[in-house]
Amino acid sequence: MAEDGVLRIGICQFPVGNDPRRNGERIRDQMREAAEAGAHIAHFPECALSGHPGSQGSEWRGFDWETIGHEIRAILQEARRSGIWAAFGGAHTLTGEHKPHNSVYVINPRGEIEDRYDKRFLTQGELPYFSPGDRPTVFSLKGVRCGVYICYEKWFPELFCDYKRRGAQLLLDSISSQERDFSPRTDKQCLDDSERALWIAHARLNHLWISVSNHCRQDQDNTSFLVDPDGRLQKLPFKETCVRVFEVDTRRELWDPSGPFRDLALSGATHNGEVVDDPRSSDKRSP
């Protein structure tokens, strides 16, 4: 049995499609695979259950929400059978004319929905299809404080600072390669390189572990991975349906350059040490 502060995460990837039944079956298969490999939690991509209708130019009229509900209940049963946590993406229907949320469901081994994270910052292409959420999600597992965010939100460092204030040590980022369909950019390699740099920077600047679970479509060149607080990546194979289990050991003493002063900065301070009252300090034009 793992000690507190040590969490084994099964990062899962498969080619998410438009059939919730098939997607649900793959989620349950990979939950079992992750549990058999010793994972405490299985992490899945954005919209892993529902697919991402907006990225394919379709609307929600006629969408089979009844099947989504059936598949979620089946996933809850699988969590209870396998004794594993799961975090998987899926559209979450609302009432009336309200657009659904783009969500990540957090499932515990009792077969219950522990919490649900609703994507707060949506791409311009997603706004016609989804309603934004309005709060972070943090839960504890094996003594590790876990937070959740989704794909496009990696471009907003304010969210990472907020999660750090809330004591997060591991962030689960469920992403979709289909987000690329919303981008006007065509220099794909530049996008891939800059995105990887963002994840590494967030991990280093906030001293966080970050799990990234992505679709594995055949037309993409990015993959799923784990990045540690030192900025080191452990990747899953490209374009391969698979599960890989990684150990997140928050007890490891990794170098944290801003650690002694991070709480000070997060509180709103813009300097450390003692500010002096000196005319040569206040006069910014003196030689």
pLDDT the model gives residue 221 = 61
What pLDDT digit, counting tens, does each position of 39-56 carry? 999 999 999 999 987 554
Where is pLDDT greater, at 219 or 180? 219
Backbone φ, ψ for residue 18 (5° rounding): -95, 0
Structure tokens at 233: 């990546």
Structure tokens at 245: 């289990």
pLDDT the model gives residue 179 = 46
Structure tokens at 145: 């404080």
pLDDT the model gives residue 2 = 55
Neighbours of 7 (CB within 10 A): 24
What pLDDT digit, counting tens, does each position of 141-161 carry? 999 999 999 999 999 999 999
Where is pLDDT greater, at 15 or 62? 15
- Please, which pLDDT band fits residue 57 given cuts at 50, 70 and 90? very low
- For residues 116 and 105, the answer to whether their CB atoms sit within 8 Å is yes
Q: Is the confidence at residue 181, as pLDDT, over 90?
A: no
- Please, which pLDDT band fits residue 178 given cuts at 50, 70 and 90? low
Q: What's the pTM value of the predicted model, to 2 decimals?
A: 0.92
pLDDT the model gives residue 192 = 65
Q: Is the confidence at residue 16, as pLDDT, over 50?
A: yes
Q: Please state, in angstroms and rounded to a whole number, the distance separating the CA atoms of residues 190 and 183.
A: 12
Give burial (CB, 10 Å; 0-12/13-18/19+) of 31.
Answer: buried
Q: Is the confidence at residue 183, as pLDDT, over 70?
A: no
Does CATH number 3.60.110.10 belong to domain 7-258?
yes
Read off the pLDDT of each residue in 127-133 and give the average, rounded to a whole number: 94
Backbone φ, ψ for residue 31 (5° rounding): -60, -45
Q: Is the confidence at residue 244, as pLDDT, over 50?
A: yes
Q: Where exactly are the structural domains of the chain? A: 7-258
pLDDT the model gives residue 149 = 98
pLDDT the model gives residue 78 = 98
Give burial (CB, 10 Å; 0-12/13-18/19+) of 191.
Answer: middle
Sorted by sequence, the CB contacts under 8 Å of residue 97 that are 6+ apart come out as: none
- For residues 20 and 63, the answer to whether their CB atoms sit within 8 Å is no
Read off the pLDDT of each residue in 108-114 and give the average, rounded to a whole number: 98
Where is pLDDT greater, at 9 or 223? 9
Read off the pLDDT of each residue in 253-280 and give the average, rounded to a whole number: 94
Q: Is the confidence at residue 186, as pLDDT, over 70?
A: no
What's the chain's average pLDDT?
91
Read off the pLDDT of each residue in 272-276 and give the average, rounded to a whole number: 95
